[in-house]
Amino acid sequence: MSKIDTRLNVSPVPPDEIFALNGAYAVDPHPQKVSLGVGVYRTDDGKPWPLPVVQKAEKELVVDDDLFRHEYTAIEGDVPFLGIARDLMFGFEGKQGEEEAKARIGSVQTVAGTGANHLGALPPTVWLSNPSWANHQTIWELAGVPRKTYPYYHAATRSFDFEGMMSSLESEAQEGDVVLLHACAHNPTGLDPNKEQWVAIADLCERKKLFPFFDSAYQGFASGSVEEDAWAVRYFFNNKPDMEMCVAQSFSKNFGLYGQRVGAFHYCTNRASTTLRDVVVNNLCHLIRGEFSMGPRVGCSIVKKVLTNEELTADWHQDLQVMSSRIKTMRKALYNELVRLQTPGTWEHIIQQNGMFSYTGLTPKQVYALKDKYHIYLLKSGRASISGLSQKNVAYVAQAIDDVIRNEN
């Protein structure tokens, strides 16, 4: 029997920064350590928060004792769940022309939002915002798709670079190029286009025949309103019916189902090509079958239980308000502390940004100083997860930021 050759033609790759940072935080024994790295919701006590409505749904599912709860679903996923996810995203509520609009959308279940992004990561060129969620780069790189970036963040003013984005796409993007857009709560900057700017972006995509690819990871979590956070997606879909688009939808943040990996991918044909919808779904199912066969069942069963019960749906909306309100409160608290300390620089951007993350404007050197001296963990880009702040640590964090900035100066 010949000896097995275990040598692999592979090279080391850098560890994922977020998970490496979280691992370092976990083993840090310092009593005042603060995690501002990983994007998960935490209570003011720094604890995970299984949503109360999710806990109610889980109890009801146990009582239901569905004999099929561990069985395979269809390749496209749990079909009733897909209809619910689609309606949540696109806002169908018995409106005129609803059936015709639904006929444009082909939906499949995915392994959370990451899986939805991966499933849609097909040629040709994709345009990503600079900066964007780090995993966007990895997903499209592994799919072998050429990547370009459009300006998004204006460092000097710590604001959304709308003019830079539009100018770059106008002059360089080619017909058929994919433009990846964050539906709300842009990760990592926390900066979103306003509605007037969204309209202009939609007009540009339509005129240049670009393909909008929305990543919707925070619907309801960002503002507390599922309608408000889906405004851009619904505007593109309803007002540009001759333009194709797609949406990667995640339920990790807005249901707190981080480890359940609940997601959906929606491909929207133009209104003249609805006959292609089933062909699109057929091709998506072919890809799914070769990668993971079908989406996981438990998490989508929880979402389905909540969104098919009026009382539980109302409870879910209340839970969204709790999470979004706490994030906004902590943004204001950090801003107030920095102003009170007269910390060098301007800090209005912290309360002008939206959602879980803040692009603080801190430099890599300052970030390393926060970690080494104060045991405060955030990404080297200066991105901070606001959820890691609390009434107990916000003054400590602000004082630490003030100290590292003054000592550097």
pLDDT in tens, 185-194: 999 999 999 9
> Residue 222, Cβ neighbours under 10 Å: how many?
27
Phi, psi of 245 (to 5 degrees): -165, 175
Angle (deg, nearest 10), helices 298-307 and 310-340: 100
* Strands, E assignment, 217-315: 245-250, 262-268
Tokens 């003030």, residue located: 402
| pLDDT digits 0-9 by tens, 49-103 | 999 999 999 999 999 999 999 999 999 999 999 999 999 999 987 677 889 999 9
Confidence band for 17, pLDDT divided at 50, 70 and 90: confident
DSSP state of 386: G
Cβ(266)–Cβ(106) below 8 Å = yes
Q: Which amino acid appears at position 114 of this protein?
A: T
Calpha distance 234→88 (Å, rounded): 11
pLDDT score, position 5: 54
Q: What is the mean pLDDT of residues 228-252?
A: 97
Judge whether residue 391 has pLDDT over 90.
yes
HSE, side-chain direction, 13 A CA sphere, residue 213: 24
Cβ(311)–Cβ(66) below 8 Å = no
Phi, psi of 27 (to 5 degrees): -95, 0
pLDDT score, position 261: 96
Calpha distance 359→367 (Å, rounded): 12
pLDDT score, position 7: 58
pLDDT score, position 1: 44
What's the helix, strand, coil split of the chain in %, to 5? Answer: 45, 15, 40
All residues at 6 or more sequence positions from 384 whose CB lies less than 8 Å from its CB, including other chains: 36, 357, 358, 360, 378
Confidence band for 4, pLDDT divided at 50, 70 and 90: low
| pLDDT digits 0-9 by tens, 302-354 | 999 999 999 999 999 999 999 999 999 999 999 999 999 999 999 999 999 99
Work out the mean pLDDT of the chain and round it to a whole number: 93
Cβ(113)–Cβ(263) below 8 Å = yes
pLDDT score, position 409: 63
> Residue 102, Cβ neighbours under 10 Å: how many?
16
Tokens coding 112: 């959370």
Parts of the chain belonging to CATH 3.40.640.10: 72-308
Q: Which amino acid appears at position 203 of this protein?
A: D
Calpha distance 40→49 (Å, rounded): 9
Q: Which fold has domain 72-308?
A: Aspartate Aminotransferase; domain 2 (3.40.640)
> Residue 127, Cβ neighbours under 10 Å: how many?
25
Nearest to 323 by CA among 28, 42, 46, 103: 42
> Residue 204, Cβ neighbours under 10 Å: how many?
17
The residue count of the chain comes to 409
Q: Which of 21-25, 123-127, 192-196, 365-369 has the lowest mean pLDDT?
A: 123-127
* CATH superfamily label, 17-49+313-408: Aspartate Aminotransferase, domain 1 (3.90.1150.10)
Judge whether residue 176 has pLDDT over 60.
yes
Q: Which amino acid appears at position 331 of this protein?
A: R
pLDDT score, position 14: 84
Looking at the DSSP assignment, which residues form a beta bridge with residue 30?
Answer: none
Parts of the chain belonging to CATH 3.90.1150.10: 17-49+313-408
Nearest to 295 by CA among 58, 82, 106: 82
All residues at 6 or more sequence positions from 342 whose CB lies less than 8 Å from its CB, including other chains: none
Cβ(25)–Cβ(386) below 8 Å = no
User: Mind telling me the catalytic residues?
Assistant: 133, 215, 253
What global pTM score does this model have?
Answer: 0.94
Q: Between β-strands 262-268 and 245-250, what pairing exists: parallel, antiparallel or unpaired?
A: antiparallel
Nearest to 124 by CA among 113, 139, 140: 140
